[in-house]
Amino acid sequence: MFELPGLPYDYDALGKYISKDIMYLHHDKHHQAYVDKLNAALDAVPELRGTSLDDLLQNLTELPAQYKTAIRNNGGGHYNHALFWQWMSPDGGGQPTGEIAAQLNNKYGDFQSFVDEFTTKALSVFGSGWVWLQPDMEIIATANQDTPIMQGLEAPLLGLDVWEHAYYLDYKNKRDDYVKAWWNVVNWDFVASRFGE
């Protein structure tokens, strides 16, 4: 059985950038629902019991047809959100240092140009989805709860949830204001630790 991981900080830790109300709803309700529905789907397929989340998501085509969509949506939701909490921190923001910074500068010219490109991608997602920074420094988007490892790509270094449930309480329809605020809480130490893996 998969379990909802605890937030690595208090619900109100991200302060004015992402409110306590959003964090509670997003973590305790939305993420919990993905975990519960993933477990419910797996309950019906005993032969998948004990399979890791990565294995499930990397081999979606091999899953029983009637459970594939549930595992894709809810497994992806669990995978993405478990990372998303760690990609934010009350001590976040600023700029990366070290090898990540060097590679971003190499690809985008400077940090601000990377931020601008990632932001443009985030605003271009129609409906619900995510934007990712991949280990090759490419910026990609996925729809719904799809995640790069479902597509045979590497695990992302950084990801941003652009579902309305991630920002609507604070920002209403202003996704651009949410994305702008989010940069202030990005946990670059966690990004760097993933890059080193």
- Using the contact rule CB under 5 A, the part of the chain among 34-42, 115-123, 164-172, 180-188 near Mn ion is 164-172
CB of 111 to Mn ion, least distance (A): 26
Q: Which is nearer to Mn ion, 163 or 171 (CB)?
A: 163
Q: Name the nearest CA neighbour of 183 among 120, 105, 98, 92.
A: 92
Decide if 172 contacts 74 (C-beta within 8 A): no
Residue number with the shortest CB distance to Mn ion?
161
Least distance in angstroms from the C-beta of 38 to Mn ion: 14
Of the pair 77, 96, the CB lying nearest Mn ion is at 77
Selected from 163, 167, 171, 195, the binder of Mn ion by CB under 5 A is 163
DSSP type of residue 104: H
- Contact between 118 and 140 under an 8 Å Cβ cutoff? The reply is no
Residue 163 or 188: the one with the smaller Cβ distance to Mn ion is 163
Task: Please state the closest distance from residue 114 (CB atom) to Mn ion, in A.
Answer: 23
Exposure string over 110-124, b if 16+ CB within 10 A, otherwise e: eeeebbeebbebbee
Span 166-195, contacts to Mn ion by CB under 5 A: 166
**Total of chain residues touching Mn ion, rule CB under 5 A:** 3
Min CB(89)–Mn ion separation in Å: 17
Please say whether the beta carbons of 164 and 151 come within 8 A: no
Q: Which residue, 4 or 137, has its beta carbon nearer to Mn ion?
A: 4
Cβ 46 to Mn ion shortest distance, Å: 29
Give the bridge partners for 143, in sequence order: 129
**Which span sits near Mn ion by CB under 5 A: 103-111, 140-148, 154-162, 169-177?**
154-162
With beta carbons less than 8 A apart as the criterion, state whether 18 and 88 touch.
Answer: yes
Q: What is the smallest separation between the CB atom of 135 and Mn ion, expressed in angstroms?
A: 23
| Contact flag: residue 161 with Mn ion (CB under 5 A) | yes
Q: What is the DSSP string of 23-92?
A: HHIIIIIIIHHHHHHHHHHHHT-GGGTT--HHHHHHTGGGS-HHHHHHHHHHHHHHHHHHHHTTTB-TT-
The footprint of Mn ion (CB under 5 A) covers: 161, 163, 166
